């Protein structure tokens, strides 16, 4: 049986220079990836909180609901590892401009906004607003549209992604483990 030929994603400016990126783009969307997304969400939102939040309040962002929420959104929408990686790049980039004054569902809003934009950037066949709302279980379609629009503004409408930005997540994901 012939081996499948790897084709560079059309959204990546140039073909992957390394097999490491190809391997990264094919990661299974499973527990280690979910945990890493939670870590990145909490770090990003913590950095964006206004200075009135103390360290204890920042730690409270990692609620018992956050990991199941991430798992639900990613699995119910059947997103690829490539889409998750692009969303992680967007979360990294958002740290410069993201400002959060209230922590109510802040991590969840950031995830939904980043994932919708990453999904639109990496796929021709995009998910509906209703699908994102249903998979989130806490947001309405109107909330989802607002999260997408706000996150797009935070990114200053720049959705481009480089191989270097994607590879920044390789080592932490390898440390988390394959699964």
pLDDT (tens digit per residue) in 12-61: 545 555 677 887 777 788 888 999 999 999 888 887 776 555 666 666 77
- Is the per-residue pLDDT at 6 higher than 50? no
* Dihedral in degrees, nearest 10, Cα atoms 103, 141, 70, 27: -130
**DSSP per-residue letters across 9-25:** -TTSSS--SSHHHHHHH
pLDDT (tens digit per residue) in 103-162: 678 889 899 999 999 999 988 878 888 998 988 888 889 999 998 999 999 999 999 998
Structural domains of the chain ordered from first start: 28-176 (1.10.472.10)
Q: List, in order, residues 6 or more apart from 122 with CB less than 8 Å away.
A: 9, 11, 80, 82, 83, 86
Record the tokens describing residue 42, joined without a space. Answer: 């909490």
Burial class, 117, CB count within 10 angstroms (exposed 0-12 / middle 13-18 / buried 19+): buried
Residue 83 banded pLDDT, cuts 50, 70, 90: very high
Neighbour count for residue 73 (Cβ, 10 Å): 21
Q: Is the pTM of this model over 0.75?
A: yes
The residues with which 34 forms a beta bridge, in sequence order, are none
* Phi, psi (rounded to 5 degrees) for 163: -60, -40
Q: List, in order, residues 6 or more apart from 87 with CB less than 8 Å away.
A: 37, 111, 114, 115, 117, 118
H-helix or E-strand spanning residue 118: helix 106-122
Q: List, in order, residues 6 or more apart from 9 with CB less than 8 Å away.
A: 25, 82, 122
């Amino acid at each position: 049986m012939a081996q499948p030929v790897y084709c560079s994603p059309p959204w990546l400016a140039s073909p992957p220079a390394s097999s490491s990126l190809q391997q990264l783009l094919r990661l299974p969307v499973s527990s280690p990836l979910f945990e890493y997304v939670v870590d990145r969400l909490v770090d990003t939102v913590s950095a964006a909180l206004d200075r009135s939040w103390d360290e204890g309040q920042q730690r409270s962002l990692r609620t018992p609901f956050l990991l199941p929420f991430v798992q639900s959104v990613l699995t119910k929408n059947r997103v690829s590892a490539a889409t998750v990686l692009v969303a992680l790049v967007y979360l990294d980039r958002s740290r410069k401009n993201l400002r959060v004054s209230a922590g109510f569902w802040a991590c969840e809003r950031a995830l939904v906004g980043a994932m919708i934009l990453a999904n639109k950037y990496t796929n021709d066949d995009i998910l509906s607003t209703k699908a994102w709302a249903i998979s989130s279980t806490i947001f309405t379609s109107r909330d989802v549209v607002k999260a997408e629009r706000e996150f797009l503004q935070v990114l200053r409408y720049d959705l481009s992604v480089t191989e270097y930005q994607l590879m920044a997540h390789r080592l932490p994901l390898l440390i988390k483990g394959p699964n």
